[in-house]
């Protein structure tokens, strides 16, 4: 059994020691841990040994083949990670206060928004915030929320409401849904389609996991479509959906921002608008509640509302519900 290390237990561990220990706890390999944090292997080993001396406990069990955490190491690794996360948050806040719209911004976007709004977002960032390193991640809503709360992502662009604790929404705009049909369909081109038409139409939707699928089903239920009415799910993306519509397999719903990209080049398709009030969705930015960059993200939201004023949408004021 490993014996406790006797040392000066009043000595405070340094951040570099904690950083080295967290790296070893994550990789369970000294060489890999050293490479991950840009430290030489001897320096990393020395930092961990110094931490053990300062704490008075053995954290690592070293063998010729592998590295293991001791029982104490497993418990204290959780605390050490929390300390390093807190330090990272402190540095993030200092950077945000010192220089907004600089550094890295990891933006998550859902697939039913990315192809249609990213051009406006990228132009805005390029023209107004040239020092901002924008990194885009396209994922479904559940994955984006997981990434935001875990700190992997900084900001999301997606459909709301989310109803997720710890997440603040910054509304950008509302957009209507339109009905996409074959050119010869009786509803093609109409501007006053009653929602009740959705009760019995052969509807094509996205696969499970897409929030647009859930929104479309909610619209259908509001129109009186019973849950037992068949809904064909055959597509992972909107481009595939409209091709299926053009091929005569059914009809689908598109958000207005997607219509030009997805239908204008296909003469076999027609779009119809619903009678007021038309079904719609709200698109917003979402950030961690209390993030150090809340003022910066609020200013970005306002700039995006201005940039999107030319789109076929209704921009929303901050805090509007």
What mean pLDDT is predicted for residues 274-285? 92
Task: Quote the percentage of the chain above a pLDDT of 70.
Answer: 91
> What count of residues does the chain have?
321
Structure-token match 């961990």, residue found: 48
Query: Which residues, listed in sequence order, are joined to residue 106 by a DSSP beta bridge?
Result: 135
- Specify if 161 maps to a domain: yes
- Specify if 6 maps to a domain: no
SS3 223: coil
Q: Which two tokens stand for residue 199?
A: 């009760």
Total domains in the chain come to 2
Which pLDDT belongs to residue 15? 92
Residue ending a domain, choose from 64, 97, 130: 97
Residues 78 and 187 in one domain: no
Q: Which two tokens stand for residue 131?
A: 């020092």
Residues 135 and 275 in one domain: yes
Which pLDDT belongs to residue 91? 83
How confident is the model over 10-51, as pLDDT tens digits?
578 999 999 999 999 999 988 899 999 999 999 999 999 999
How confident is the model over 79-115, as pLDDT tens digits?
999 999 999 888 877 776 667 788 889 999 999 999 9
Residues 175 and 31 in one domain: no
How confident is the model over 214-249, as pLDDT tens digits?
888 888 888 777 665 556 656 888 999 999 999 999
Residues 287 and 160 in one domain: yes
- Specify if 159 maps to a domain: yes
Q: What are phi and psi of 319, to 5 degrees?
A: 85, 0
Query: Which residues, listed in sequence order, are joined to residue 254 by a DSSP beta bridge?
Result: 178
Asked if 61 and 8 touch (Cβ cutoff 8 Å), the reply is no
- Specify if 226 maps to a domain: yes
How confident is the model over 137-194, as pLDDT tens digits?
999 999 999 999 999 999 999 999 888 899 999 999 999 999 999 999 999 999 999 9
- Specify if 59 maps to a domain: yes
- Specify if 2 maps to a domain: no
- pTM for this structure? 0.68
Which pLDDT belongs to residue 233? 56
Q: Which H or E run contains 93?
A: helix 71-98
Contacts of 23 (CB under 8 A, 6+ apart): 33, 34, 36, 37, 39, 44
Q: Which domain holds residue 132?
A: 101-321
Which pLDDT belongs to residue 10? 57
Q: Which two tokens stand for residue 161?
A: 């409401």
Residues 216 and 318 in one domain: yes
- Taking CA atoms, 179 is separated from 103, 114, 176, in Å, by 42, 20, 10
We report the CATH number of the domain holding residue 92 as 1.10.10.10
Which pLDDT belongs to residue 92? 78
Which pLDDT belongs to residue 66? 79
- Specify if 69 maps to a domain: yes
Residues 60 and 185 in one domain: no
Residues 87 and 105 in one domain: no
Which pLDDT belongs to residue 1? 45
We report the CATH number of the domain holding residue 269 as 3.40.190.290
- Specify if 10 maps to a domain: no
Residues 318 and 282 in one domain: yes
How confident is the model over 206-216, as pLDDT tens digits?
887 677 788 88
């Amino acid at each position: 059994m490993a014996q406790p290390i006797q040392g000066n237990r009043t000595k405070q561990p340094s951040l570099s020691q904690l950083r080295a220990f967290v790296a070893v706890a994550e990789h369970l390999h000294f060489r890999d841990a050293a490479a991950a944090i840009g430290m030489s292997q001897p320096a990393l080993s020395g930092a961990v040994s110094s931490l053990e001396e300062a704490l008075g406990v053995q954290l690592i069990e070293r063998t010729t083949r592998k590295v293991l955490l001791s029982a104490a190491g497993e418990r204290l690794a959780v605390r050490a990670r929390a300390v390093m996360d807190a330090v990272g948050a402190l540095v993030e806040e200092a950077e945000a206060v010192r220089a907004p719209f600089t550094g890295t911004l990891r933006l998550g976007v859902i697939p039913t928004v990315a192809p249609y709004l990213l051009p406006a977002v990228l132009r805005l960032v390029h023209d107004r915030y040239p020092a901002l390193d924008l990194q885009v991640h396209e994922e479904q809503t559940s994955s984006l929320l997981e990434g935001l709360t875990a700190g992997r992502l900084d900001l999301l662009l997606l459909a709301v409401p989310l109803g997720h604790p710890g997440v603040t929404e910054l509304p950008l705009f509302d957009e209507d849904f339109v009905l996409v049909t074959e050119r010869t369909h009786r509803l093609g081109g109409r501007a006053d389609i009653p929602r009740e038409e959705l009760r019995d139409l052969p509807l094509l939707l996205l696969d499970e996991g897409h929030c647009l699928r859930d929104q479309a089903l909610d619209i259908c239920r509001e129109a009186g479509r019973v849950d037992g009415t068949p809904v064909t799910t055959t597509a992972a993306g909107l481009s595939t959906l409209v091709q299926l519509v053009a091929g005569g397999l059914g009809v689908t719903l598109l958000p207005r921002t997607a219509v030009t990209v997805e239908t204008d080049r296909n003469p076999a398709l027609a779009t119809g608008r619903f009678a007021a009030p038309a079904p719609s969705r709200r698109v917003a930015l979402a950030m961690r509640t209390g993030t150090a960059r809340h003022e910066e993200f609020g200013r970005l939201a306002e700039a995006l509302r201005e940039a999107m004023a030319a789109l076929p949408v209704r921009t929303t004021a901050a805090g509007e519900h």
